A and B are shown apart, each in its own frame.
Chain A
Protein backbone atom coordinates (compact mmCIF):
# COMPACT_ATOMS: atom_id res chain seq x y z
CA UNK A 1 0.00 0.00 0.00
CA UNK A 2 1.27 3.46 -0.90
CA UNK A 3 2.33 5.67 2.01
CA UNK A 4 -0.13 8.62 2.17
CA UNK A 5 2.78 10.98 2.92
CA UNK A 6 4.14 10.39 -0.59
CA UNK A 7 1.40 12.76 -1.74
CA UNK A 8 1.97 16.44 -0.89
CA UNK A 9 -1.77 17.14 -1.04
CA UNK A 10 -2.54 14.32 1.41
CA UNK A 11 0.25 15.58 3.68
CA UNK A 12 -1.37 19.03 3.81
CA UNK A 13 -4.84 17.57 4.43
CA UNK A 14 -3.45 15.41 7.27
CA UNK A 15 -1.77 18.52 8.73
CA UNK A 16 -5.09 20.38 8.67
CA UNK A 17 -6.88 17.41 10.27
CA UNK A 18 -4.22 17.29 13.02
CA UNK A 19 -4.75 21.02 13.58
CA UNK A 20 -8.49 20.53 14.09
CA UNK A 21 -7.85 17.61 16.46
CA UNK A 22 -5.37 19.71 18.45
CA UNK A 23 -7.83 22.62 18.73
CA UNK A 24 -10.60 20.24 19.88
CA UNK A 25 -8.30 18.77 22.55
CA UNK A 26 -7.31 22.23 23.81
CA UNK A 27 -10.94 23.37 23.86
CA UNK A 28 -11.96 20.21 25.73
CA UNK A 29 -9.26 20.89 28.35
CA UNK A 30 -10.79 24.30 29.09
CA UNK A 31 -14.53 23.61 28.68
Chain B
Protein backbone atom coordinates (compact mmCIF):
# COMPACT_ATOMS: atom_id res chain seq x y z
CA UNK B 1 0.00 0.00 0.00
CA UNK B 2 1.42 3.37 -1.01
CA UNK B 3 0.84 6.30 1.29
CA UNK B 4 1.46 9.79 -0.12
CA UNK B 5 4.30 11.55 1.81
CA UNK B 6 1.97 14.57 2.17
CA UNK B 7 -0.29 12.34 4.23
CA UNK B 8 2.45 11.85 6.84
CA UNK B 9 2.81 15.61 7.35
CA UNK B 10 -0.92 15.77 7.94
CA UNK B 11 -0.77 12.69 10.19
CA UNK B 12 1.86 14.25 12.46
CA UNK B 13 -0.04 17.56 12.47
CA UNK B 14 -3.09 15.63 13.72
CA UNK B 15 -1.03 13.95 16.45
CA UNK B 16 0.55 17.34 17.29
CA UNK B 17 -2.85 19.02 17.67
CA UNK B 18 -4.25 16.18 19.83
CA UNK B 19 -1.15 16.22 22.05
CA UNK B 20 -1.32 20.02 22.32
CA UNK B 21 -4.99 19.90 23.33
CA UNK B 22 -4.08 17.38 26.06
CA UNK B 23 -1.18 19.55 27.30
CA UNK B 24 -2.69 23.03 27.15
CA UNK B 25 -6.13 21.73 28.19
CA UNK B 26 -4.65 20.39 31.42
CA UNK B 27 -2.50 23.52 31.88
CA UNK B 28 -5.63 25.62 31.70
CA UNK B 29 -7.48 23.15 33.99
CA UNK B 30 -4.78 23.69 36.63
CA UNK B 31 -4.83 27.48 36.29
CA UNK B 32 -8.51 28.17 35.58
CA UNK B 33 -10.07 25.46 37.78
CA UNK B 34 -7.87 23.58 40.26
CA UNK B 35 -5.62 26.32 41.72
CA UNK B 36 -8.48 28.84 42.26
CA UNK B 37 -10.71 26.10 43.73
CA UNK B 38 -8.26 24.71 46.30
CA UNK B 39 -8.88 27.41 48.95
CA UNK B 40 -12.64 26.66 48.76
CA UNK B 41 -12.17 22.93 49.49
CA UNK B 42 -12.24 21.82 53.18
CA UNK B 43 -8.85 20.59 54.44
CA UNK B 44 -10.19 17.08 55.06
CA UNK B 45 -11.17 16.77 51.39
CA UNK B 46 -8.01 18.32 49.88
CA UNK B 47 -6.20 14.94 49.58
CA UNK B 48 -8.74 13.92 46.92
CA UNK B 49 -7.12 16.59 44.74
CA UNK B 50 -3.50 16.40 45.92
CA UNK B 51 -3.27 12.58 46.16
CA UNK B 52 -5.55 11.41 43.34
CA UNK B 53 -6.59 14.00 40.75
CA UNK B 54 -3.47 16.19 40.56
CA UNK B 55 -0.99 13.30 40.12
CA UNK B 56 -3.14 11.79 37.34
CA UNK B 57 -3.56 15.18 35.66
CA UNK B 58 0.18 15.85 35.95
CA UNK B 59 0.98 12.52 34.26
CA UNK B 60 -1.06 13.37 31.16
CA UNK B 61 0.10 17.02 31.37
CA UNK B 62 3.84 16.30 31.19
CA UNK B 63 3.57 13.47 28.66
CA UNK B 64 1.19 15.61 26.59
CA UNK B 65 3.93 18.25 26.58
CA UNK B 66 6.53 15.67 25.49
CA UNK B 67 4.32 14.30 22.74
CA UNK B 68 3.49 17.82 21.54
CA UNK B 69 7.12 18.86 21.08
CA UNK B 70 8.17 15.56 19.45
CA UNK B 71 5.29 15.48 16.95
CA UNK B 72 5.76 19.22 16.31
CA UNK B 73 9.43 18.78 15.45
CA UNK B 74 8.63 15.83 13.18
CA UNK B 75 5.89 17.83 11.46
CA UNK B 76 8.20 20.84 10.95
CA UNK B 77 10.91 18.56 9.55
CA UNK B 78 8.52 16.81 7.15
CA UNK B 79 7.18 20.19 6.01
CA UNK B 80 10.75 21.35 5.35
CA UNK B 81 10.67 24.46 7.56
CA UNK B 82 12.32 23.19 10.74
CA UNK B 83 15.63 25.09 10.48
CA UNK B 84 14.02 28.20 8.95
CA UNK B 85 11.49 28.33 11.79
CA UNK B 86 14.20 27.85 14.43
CA UNK B 87 15.93 30.86 12.82
CA UNK B 88 12.66 32.90 12.99
CA UNK B 89 12.44 32.95 9.19
CA UNK B 90 15.58 35.07 8.88
CA UNK B 91 17.17 32.41 6.65
CA UNK B 92 14.43 32.34 3.99
CA UNK B 93 12.61 35.65 4.66
CA UNK B 94 9.29 33.85 5.16
CA UNK B 95 6.74 35.43 7.48
CA UNK B 96 5.15 32.01 7.96
CA UNK B 97 8.48 30.59 9.17
CA UNK B 98 8.80 33.62 11.48
CA UNK B 99 5.33 33.05 12.91
CA UNK B 100 5.78 29.32 13.43
CA UNK B 101 9.27 30.02 14.81
CA UNK B 102 7.86 32.24 17.55
CA UNK B 103 5.34 29.49 18.33
CA UNK B 104 8.02 26.80 18.39
CA UNK B 105 10.34 28.74 20.68
CA UNK B 106 7.54 29.71 23.07
CA UNK B 107 6.36 26.07 23.10
CA UNK B 108 9.92 24.89 23.75
CA UNK B 109 10.29 27.25 26.74
CA UNK B 110 6.96 25.94 28.05
CA UNK B 111 8.05 22.31 27.54
CA UNK B 112 11.29 23.03 29.43
CA UNK B 113 9.31 24.60 32.29
CA UNK B 114 7.05 21.54 32.51
CA UNK B 115 9.82 18.96 32.67
CA UNK B 116 12.58 20.81 34.49
CA UNK B 117 10.73 23.20 36.83
CA UNK B 118 7.03 22.36 37.31
CA UNK B 119 7.25 18.56 37.55
CA UNK B 120 10.30 18.39 39.89
CA UNK B 121 8.66 20.96 42.18
CA UNK B 122 5.24 19.30 42.02
CA UNK B 123 6.82 16.02 43.14
CA UNK B 124 7.93 17.81 46.32
CA UNK B 125 4.68 19.75 46.74
CA UNK B 126 2.50 16.63 46.38
CA UNK B 127 4.65 14.49 48.65
CA UNK B 128 5.87 12.15 45.89
CA UNK B 129 9.37 13.22 46.96
CA UNK B 130 9.70 13.68 50.72
CA UNK B 131 11.00 17.10 51.83
CA UNK B 132 10.58 19.36 54.85
CA UNK B 133 7.48 21.56 55.25
CA UNK B 134 9.27 24.80 54.25
CA UNK B 135 10.74 23.29 51.11
CA UNK B 136 7.38 21.71 50.29
CA UNK B 137 5.64 25.07 50.52
CA UNK B 138 8.34 26.81 48.45
CA UNK B 139 8.18 24.05 45.80
CA UNK B 140 4.41 24.44 45.52
CA UNK B 141 4.75 28.17 44.99
CA UNK B 142 7.49 27.75 42.37
CA UNK B 143 5.40 25.17 40.49
CA UNK B 144 2.36 27.46 40.61
CA UNK B 145 4.26 30.52 39.35
CA UNK B 146 5.87 28.60 36.46
CA UNK B 147 2.48 27.15 35.62
CA UNK B 148 1.25 30.75 35.44
CA UNK B 149 4.22 31.67 33.23
CA UNK B 150 3.21 28.86 30.87
CA UNK B 151 -0.42 30.03 30.90
CA UNK B 152 0.79 33.52 29.97
CA UNK B 153 3.05 32.18 27.20
CA UNK B 154 0.31 29.88 25.86
CA UNK B 155 -1.61 32.94 24.60
CA UNK B 156 1.05 34.27 22.16
CA UNK B 157 2.20 30.68 21.42
CA UNK B 158 -1.24 29.66 20.15
CA UNK B 159 -1.57 32.93 18.19
CA UNK B 160 1.79 32.23 16.52
CA UNK B 161 0.93 28.61 15.74
CA UNK B 162 -2.50 29.39 14.31
CA UNK B 163 -1.42 32.51 12.40
CA UNK B 164 1.36 30.62 10.59
CA UNK B 165 -1.22 28.54 8.75
CA UNK B 166 -4.33 30.68 8.83
CA UNK B 167 -3.33 34.34 8.46
CA UNK B 168 -2.72 35.67 4.93
CA UNK B 169 0.93 36.34 4.00
Residues on A close to B: CB < 8 A? 3, 5-6, 8, 11-12, 14-16, 18-19, 22-23, 26, 29-30
Contact = CB atoms under 8 A, between A and B. Distances in A.
A10 B118 CA distance: 20
Interface residues of B, number: 22
A11 B152 contact: yes
B32 A22 contact: no
Count chain A CB atoms within 10 A of each CB in B148, B149, B153 and give the residue with the most. B148
B145 A15 contact: no
Contacts of B89: 29
Contacts, number: 51
B26 to A, nearest CB: 16
Contact of B151 (A15, A19, A22): A15
A22 B152 contact: no
27 contacts: A3-B145, A5-B145, A5-B152, A6-B148, A8-B31, A8-B35, A8-B148, A8-B151, A11-B31, A12-B152, A14-B152, A15-B151, A15-B156, A16-B155, A18-B152, A18-B153, A22-B102, A22-B156, A22-B159, A22-B160, A23-B159, A26-B95, A26-B99, A26-B102, A29-B88, A29-B89, A30-B95
Interface of B: 31-32, 35-36, 88-89, 95, 98-99, 102, 144-145, 148-149, 151-156, 159-160
